[in-house]
Structure 1
């Protein structure tokens, strides 16, 4: 009985000593190791392994319709696209859904291709990337490419094509997409938004091609032509149009009623299918576009901007936005010799662009005098 009690006492002392030893060791370890800290990201400093994304500009406040315009005579009689233009023509701030890669203009750009494209025109964009709009250096001069896009007016279509454009942006980094409906009367808005982007992000580019995605552009010839010009001087060349005015017939794509403008004559302008301009001139367009009211025909609006700046557009015999006329009935209008010395022709189907670009690159191409267009 006594022996049992002694064993119990010894057991108690052993447990007590063990507990004291554990507490002592814990105290020593606590005093000799750093104090535990919260993770750096919880304190507001991101860790090197997980950098935070750069802050983005918050989306603009949705632009409200100018309802006062609806009280004007003849407003209710206008087609829907005209009414929409009048209600929202003051709106110029739209969210940029897809931006170009940051390095797009990081290095000196000699010729920047600003190509207007509709959201669903994927095949055209792919063909251009493979042909005349391929980013490359021509005689050591850098050529870069951008597609200017809005959103599909139909919400269900927009869901699809917005995903498509996001994929293109990830792969190619050449999509500028804004959150406005991509319609004919909004092409002017697309031009103005590009001028804003260019002034902020690509102000040092020397020259620009502004054109549609259904033109054939001989970009090698363009660079040869532009090498003879100073980017700090005025240059705006294309298919010159003058002595024309608004079409007042409602059936026309270019219908402009008097509620939009009372003027019966447009200033001289170049057809919007494609034209070349210099750094000097694009800066002038940017200044004027911030002063003038938007006009629904984009190429006419740019003519108005030039007039505002005291500048004139000019004609170039190598730019044909109304197609080409071959010099002989025995020749095909698709003969590559017809296009060998031209700069731009409107308009081409996607497969035609591929065929023409390939034909012009053939080293054995020989042409006679009859196929030359001046």
Structure 2
């Protein structure tokens, strides 16, 4: 009898120990900012050090290449617009070509240049469609990494790489998503000399410029159910440093260089906006300038489309993201109505 009681107590003790271990594991996995995690190692970026450009390196990729290429920028190019686009977003690219990215604004003699950034596809038929699209329009730049959400970091750094190696004489890189409206006539006004007195680009320095609708104190998401989950091993802090939401970012050429060199000397991080404009800009001592006053909000957009507007009211530089084709077309028509010259 005594032996049975002893065995029962031992079994109960083992079960309790097992449950306690499970409980501790759950605390470890879900407790924010576990002190046992070693913070992400920061790479010191020495910009004055000699640097040898390896055309086949893109962060941790050592076999990088362009599948669809672009010729270098012309000497008169002052701003390069790079549009992040998914291979299947053919309709979105078509809308941009008909509106704010049309030849009426971005011609061969224009100081603006535009093309769309895409990654590789695993389907031969899709690749043939992309090649046909490029043959017709000549505005695609494709890298050999697989196109996908968590490869956006490669796409973002590919933009920096191409600008740094083939368009560095330009003053400005504009990186946007394919679901926004970039006010290219207004951008041309900002690029004219002398600058308009109310130009945001006149109010900011031509160097050390990183301009966007800044995000502050965004909390790191740890939930396994979230698309944006980041583990403690990837990033240990509770909050990200200030960074740029990716729908529209403006970089001066020197900032492109500094961010690109920092990316080439850093480990891969899957959230491209946080990585490039947050972590790398902090390491490179780059200050973000807030673009928010020049971003057209959804409420302002609805007001413009429902009421119309005078041309002198269209001083925004970019819209908020997730615009429909109908909204982009409607906003573009306001320029035709007002006979805006560009």
Q: Same fold (TM over 0.5)?
A: yes
Give the secondary structure class of the aligned counterpart of 1:178: strand
Q: CA deviation at 1:255?
A: 1.4
- Residues 319/332 of structure 1: CA separation in 2 closer, same or farther (3 Å cut): closer
Pick the aligned partner of 2:220 from 246, 249, 254. Answer: 246
RMSD of equivalent CA atoms: 3.0
* TM-score normalised over the length of structure 1: 0.65
Give the secondary structure class of the aligned counterpart of 2:175: strand
Give the secondary structure class of the aligned counterpart of 2:159: helix
Pick the aligned partner of 2:190 from 225, 230, 250. Answer: 225
Q: Structure 2: which 5+ runs fail to align? A: 1-24, 30-57, 196-200
> Which whole-Å deviations, capped at 9, do the CAs of 1:152-203 have from their partners, x for residues lacking one?
3xx3xx2222111111222222111112221111111111122222222112
Q: Kindly report which structure 2 residues correspond to 1:63-74, keeping only aligned pairs within 5 A, or say none.
A: none
Give the secondary structure class of the aligned counterpart of 1:208: strand
Indicate yes or no: 2:290 matched with 1:290.
no
Q: Kindly report which structure 2 residues correspond to 1:47-62, keeping only aligned pairs within 5 A, or say none.
A: none
Pick the aligned partner of 1:362 from 329, 337, 340. Answer: 337
Indicate yes or no: 2:71 matched with 1:108.
no
- Residues 274/331 of structure 1: CA separation in 2 closer, same or farther (3 Å cut): closer
Cα distance in structure 1, aligned partners of 2:222 and 2:329: 39
Cα distance in structure 2, aligned partners of 1:116 and 1:92: 22
Give the secondary structure class of the aligned counterpart of 2:87: coil
Cα pair 2:215 2:245 within 8 Å, conserved: yes
**1:188 aligns to what?**
153
**2:287 aligns to what?**
312
Cα pair 2:294 2:315 within 8 Å, conserved: no
Higher relative contact order (CA 8 A, sep 6+): 2
Give the secondary structure class of the aligned counterpart of 1:177: strand
**2:167 aligns to what?**
202
Indicate yes or no: 2:126 matched with 1:161.
yes
**1:64 aligns to what?**
none
Aligned length: 271
Structure 1 residue runs of 4 or more that deviate by more than 6 Å after TM superposition = none
- Residues 181/347 of structure 1: CA separation in 2 closer, same or farther (3 Å cut): same
**1:151 aligns to what?**
120
Cα distance in structure 1, aligned partners of 2:116 and 2:152: 13
Give the secondary structure class of the aligned counterpart of 2:128: helix
Q: CA deviation at 1:205?
A: 1.4
Cα pair 2:216 2:242 within 8 Å, conserved: yes
Cα distance in structure 2, aligned partners of 1:134 and 1:254: 34
- Residues 261/170 of structure 1: CA separation in 2 closer, same or farther (3 Å cut): same
Cα distance in structure 1, aligned partners of 2:155 and 2:224: 24
**1:27 aligns to what?**
none
Cα distance in structure 2, aligned partners of 1:282 and 1:171: 30
Cα distance in structure 2, aligned partners of 1:337 and 1:284: 40
- Residues 300/226 of structure 1: CA separation in 2 closer, same or farther (3 Å cut): farther
Indicate yes or no: 2:66 matched with 1:96.
yes
Cα distance in structure 1, aligned partners of 2:223 and 2:63: 31
- Residues 351/305 of structure 1: CA separation in 2 closer, same or farther (3 Å cut): same
Cα pair 2:79 2:172 within 8 Å, conserved: yes
Give the secondary structure class of the aligned counterpart of 1:105: coil
**2:326 aligns to what?**
351
Q: CA deviation at 1:358?
A: 1.5
Q: Kindly report which structure 2 residues correspond to 1:317-356, keeping only aligned pairs within 5 A, or say none.
A: 317-320=292-295, 323-326=297-300, 331=303, 336-337=308-309, 340-345=314-319, 346-356=321-331
* TM-score normalised over the length of structure 2: 0.71
**2:43 aligns to what?**
none
Larger C-alpha radius of gyration, 1 or 2? 1
- Residues 320/137 of structure 1: CA separation in 2 closer, same or farther (3 Å cut): closer
Cα distance in structure 2, aligned partners of 1:201 and 1:326: 37
**2:275 aligns to what?**
301
